[in-house]
Chain A
Amino acid sequence: MAGGPYSEKVMEHFMNPRNVGEIENADGVGEVGNPACGDMMRLYVKVEAGKVSDAKFRTFGCGAAIASSSMLTEMIKGKTIDEARAITNTQVSDALGGLPEVKIHCSVMAEEAVKAALDDYSKKHPA
């Protein structure tokens, strides 16, 4: 495959993104980013027995934004809420084999999306 600016892992997730879509009656929805900035991510999570049982996303953005979204959904599935909250942008970027410096914000967007979705979950399901 052609090289391009991205790692093979980024291109693999960009070409075959996991978990694209939406979850009907999601337990939490997080939306971050801004189309004016070039990217925007909406993350849907399903929570069962304190764990993220399903995650889906829709993202407008560049290759790094779509790959970060895809990788994030893979990483949070099966994690407890606390574990999912603890995921950092560096972990997302590392899992993708690294991102160009100018694209680090795409992994930050993924980290913020999971926090926003879980905040939404906590609001809807007060302990």
Chain B
Amino acid sequence: MAHIFFDHISATPVDPRVVEAMLPYFGERYGNPASHIHDQGQTALRALDASRGTVARMIHAQPGEIVFTSGATEANNLAIKGAAAGSKDKRHIVVSEVEHFSVLNALLPLRAAGFETTVLHVDRDGRVDPDDVRKAIRPDTLLVSVMHANAEIGTIQPVSDIGRIARERGVLFHADATASAGHIPVDVDAIGADLLTLSAHNFYGPKGVGALYVRKGTRLESLIDGGFQEGGYRAGTENVPGIVGMATAAEIAMAESAGWAEKLAPMGRRLWDGLATSIPLLHFTGHPEDRLPGHVSFWVEHAEGESLLLLLNMQGVMAASGSACSSNLRGHDEEDLVASTVLKAIGVPSDICTGSVTFSMGKENTGADVEHVLSVLPAIVSRLREMSPTWLDYQKQQESQG
């Protein structure tokens, strides 16, 4: 059976070169970088320093500006809460409504503590209008946080414009580059970011490791009390094997990601065009041009998202959905099932039957994978529609209208 992984926004297959680079740090190189007087510790510290330099180069930063974390969620929490705690008197934060939960939910305790927030709306393509950022900034605004690219709908935000506006107004700018780094160029100076989030498993590195870029001179408080690791921003012994893996993945991405994008962009267009002509009542989401390469997202009427994913999986195709029913199958009751806030934000109607799908391709995918998806999906959609009472009603309505 086919094995087509089109869910790279959730995880990417770890590159074998990354695994190879990590392995010695699980075995013979077991030292703690904080205990670096002896050889084992020195080995670990050298690996950590080299990795910091590599990850910094990927985003055109200085090594001292990289804080390794357990992943993007921790990095986003550190950016938002750390900047808030580091602010002397400013109490206002601006974010977009399509940010990841680790940004939006990090605001909850801050609001309870008296911080004020402005959540910016996006347009139908999921884009933030930089002018809205300009209008939202107040004298007491400390931070603007807008993601570089949205994982669910693929839209790339005008982060450079937003960064420039924040800089002009003396406000910190945080960009969550989880979905973009390693896929499209990320340059902290071009973006004008003071804080920028990275996640290794989104660019063929291991899970459980990420980083926050912290521009030199940025006031940021640590969230974890402990030792002096990571420049005092993040206590706790570093995940050396993970960090080495992240750096190896960054090295590979610097050398190869332009080629991946060149390959994936036309595959994404082929999938987009093929779906547009083969499935009626299908609506694409996200910006048609300014989007991640090889990322195609849409919703269809009269077929539910989880059912689409289950049937795709039966055909060996692994994808994601923002539909409520597939949101949290390990939850405890129905209340745990919620439709994606991103889909709501871009105006996907919730009063009709819809199923959303996100296909996100990666470097190992081929044109044949796209053709396979195009060969199976129309029948899957038809099959679910044939079962749906709403489709029956829709067809009768069409007939009566002649």
Contact = CB atoms under 8 A, between A and B. Distances in A.
Contacts of A4: 310, 313
A105 interface: yes
Interface range on chain A: under 10, 10 to 19, 20 to 34, or 35 or more? Answer: 20 to 34
Contact of A61 (B304, B314, B339, B392): B304
A101 B328 CA distance: 10
A17 B388 CA distance: 12
B326 A17 contact: no
B353 A104 contact: no
A58 interface: yes
B350 interface: yes
Interface in B259-309: 302-307
A70 B351 CA distance: 25
Counting chain B CB atoms within 10 Å of each CB, the highest count among A2, A20, A22, A38 belongs to A38
Contacts of A61: 304, 307, 325
B297 to A, nearest CB: 19
A100 interface: yes
B190 interface: no
A14 interface: yes
Interface in B213-267: none
Interface string A15-55: 10100101000000001000111111110000000000000
B329 A40 contact: no
Interface in B337-384: 337, 339, 350-353, 384
B324 interface: yes
Interface residues of B, number: 35
A104 B334 contact: yes
Interface string A83-127: 000000000000000001111110000000000000000000000
A2 B314 CA distance: 8
Contact of A40 (B324, B332, B337, B390): B390
A62 B326 contact: yes
B76 interface: no
B307 A102 contact: no
Contact of B353 (A11, A15, A40): A40
Contact of B390 (A2, A5, A60, A63): A60
Contacts of B332: 101-102
Contact of A102 (B303, B337, B353): B337
A41 B389 contact: yes
Given A36-B350, A39-B325, A58 B392 contact: yes
Contacts of A103: 329
B190 to A, nearest CB: 41
A102 B333 contact: yes
Given A4-B310, A15-B314, A101 B331 contact: yes
Counting chain B CB atoms within 10 Å of each CB, the highest count among A2, A35, A65, A105 belongs to A35
B333 A39 contact: no
A62 B306 contact: yes
A66 interface: yes
A38 B352 contact: no
Given A15-B314, A102-B331, A59 B387 contact: yes
Nearest to A60: B388
Contact of B325 (A14, A38, A41): A38
A11 B311 CA distance: 10
B140 interface: no
B387 A20 contact: yes
B49 interface: no
Given A39-B325, A100-B329, A102-B333, A31 B389 contact: yes
A38 B387 contact: no
Contacts of B39: none
Interface of B: 302-307, 310, 313-314, 323-326, 328-334, 336-337, 339, 350-353, 384, 386-392
